[in-house]
Structure formats: C-alpha cells, structure tokens
C-alpha cells in the first residue's frame, strides 16, 4: 500500500455538506476494472456538463485548483454507498488528503486502504481552512502525519487526532492483509475454540 508521510499541496474548498459517494463517483462507472483508473470519473456530474465539456463553476476546474491534492470539505463527506471506487477516483485524480468535520464511516475506512489521509478537525477549524483555501488561492497547505498537524495558508499549525493503528500502517505503507496474516495463529486458535 502507498505510504503517507507528509504532503505540501494546494487545497480546494468544497462547502457543501453530505457529499455522498454517488456524487464522488456515479454508479454507472463502477463496473470499470481497477487498473483502468477512475480519475476521469471523479465528481463526474459536477465536473462536467452532459455534453462532456467542463463545468467552469466547479472548484477543481478553476485554474487555481487544477493541481489540488487536498480537499477541504464539510460535514459527512463520503456518506452513503460503500463503493471504494469513490476513494479510487479521488486517488487516481491526485487527491491525497480530505479534511472535514466528519466523514461517512465506510468511506473513512476505505481511504486508509489507498494511502489517502482523511483528517477530522472541529467544524470551526475546517470552516477557517475552507475560507483560506478559497481566498488565498494557490498557496499550499502542509500536512504532517507523524506530527499529526495541518498547517494552513495562515501558517497556524493545527493538530488533528488520528487512529494510532491507522497512522502506523499508513506511515509504513503496510499492507493490511499481510499485517493480519501475521495473526494467523490467533485466528486459527479462535476458530478452534468455537
């Protein structure tokens, strides 16, 4: 699995709350194979008009945010369907971190399996970071997973909480299946005792 250690990148603000995974990737793209990539499907019906032309109003289509690798979102980002393709689409497009006050539980779990860091911060701090991303366009955010900090355009260092288990695996780029296979004896003993 891809590691995540530090990231210095442009952040794009998305103000809408409850952005569901159907919006991140519509159902009609789910039958693609993983190796075909999902980047072009990211936010498909928000990013593109029906005729395939870009929607200039959508944040990721604006010149300042073309190279964004961070999304500063709002409450309940990634709610709804369990489709991991939502994370594949963010990842393949180039997004490495999403900051929000809360996430859909399954989406939150799926991020960690793909080297993408979901950061939860209090609503007021996320609102401040969203405002910075929107007004000081092109200036990067800095994220340090080991230190658990986000530094916005204002230079203020904000600390975030992250599950220590998930942090460890992400910093090491540890494959979770390989990790769990190390517990084979325990699993077998558990099965035998049932």
Partner 1 sequence: MARPLTLFEKIWVPHEVHRDEDGQSLLYVDRHFIHDGSRTAYKQLADRGLGVRRPDLTFASPDHYVPTTSRDFADVDGEDRKDMVSSLTRNTAASGVTEYGLTDDRHGIVHVMGPEQGLSLPGMLILCGDSHTSTHGAVGALAFGIGASEVAHVLATQALWQRKPKTMRVMIEGELAEGVSGKDVVLALVAQIGVNGATGHVIEYAGSTMEALSVEGRLTICNMSIEAGARAGMVAPDEATFAYLKDRPHAPKGEEWDAAVARWRGLATDPGAIFDREVFLDAAAIEPMVTWGNRPSEAVPVTAAVPDVASVEDPAQRRVLQAALDYMGLKAGMRLTDVPVDYVFIGSCTNGRIEDFRAAASVLLGRHVAPGVKAIAVPGSGLVRLQAEAEGLDRIFIEAGFEWRYSGCSMCLAVNGDTVPAGKRSASTSNRNFVGRQGPEARTHLVSPATAAATAIAGRFADHRTLGG
| Contact residues for partner 1, defined by CB under 8 A | 15-18, 20, 22-23, 26-28, 30-34, 45, 50, 75-76, 79-85, 87, 102-106, 109-110, 113-114, 163-165, 168, 176-178, 180-181, 183-184, 186-187, 190-191
Contact residues for 186 (Cβ-Cβ < 8 A; gap 6+)? none
CB of residue 91 to partner 1, shortest distance in Å: 12
CB of residue 81 to partner 1, shortest distance in Å: 5
∠ Cα 68 47 93 (to 5°): 40
The rounded distance, in Å, linking the Cα atoms of 78 and 17 is 10
Nearer to partner 1 by C-beta: 113 or 136?
113
| C-beta separation of 29 from 44 below 8 A | yes
| C-beta separation of 5 from 171 below 8 A | yes
Nearer to partner 1 by C-beta: 128 or 139?
128
Nearer to partner 1 by C-beta: 75 or 128?
75
CA atoms within 13 A on the CB side of 105: 0
CB of residue 179 to partner 1, shortest distance in Å: 9
CB of residue 137 to partner 1, shortest distance in Å: 20
Token pair 């789910």 is found at: 30
């Amino acid at each position: 699995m891809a590691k995540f250690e530090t990231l210095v990148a442009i952040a794009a603000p998305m103000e809408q709350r409850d952005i569901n995974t159907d919006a991140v990737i519509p159902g009609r793209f789910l039958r693609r194979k993983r190796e075909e990539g999902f980047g072009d499907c990211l936010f498909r019906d928000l990013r593109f008009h029906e005729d395939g032309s870009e929607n200039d109003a959508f944040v990721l289509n604006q010149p300042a945010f073309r190279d964004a690798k961070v999304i500063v979102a709002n409450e309940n980002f990634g709610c709804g369907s369990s489709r991991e393709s939502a994370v594949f689409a963010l990842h393949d497009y180039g997004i490495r971190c999403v900051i929000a006050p809360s996430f859909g539980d399954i989406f939150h779990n799926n991020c960690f399996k793909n080297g993408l860091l979901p950061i939860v911060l209090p609503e007021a701090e996320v609102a401040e970071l969203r405002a910075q991303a929107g007004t000081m366009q092109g200036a990067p955010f800095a994220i340090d997973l080991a230190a658990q900090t986000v530094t916005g355009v204002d230079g203020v260092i904000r600390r975030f909480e992250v599950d220590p288990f998930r942090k460890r695996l992400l910093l090491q780029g540890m494959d979770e299946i390989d990790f769990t296979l190390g517990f084979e004896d325990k699993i077998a003993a558990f099965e035998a005792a049932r």
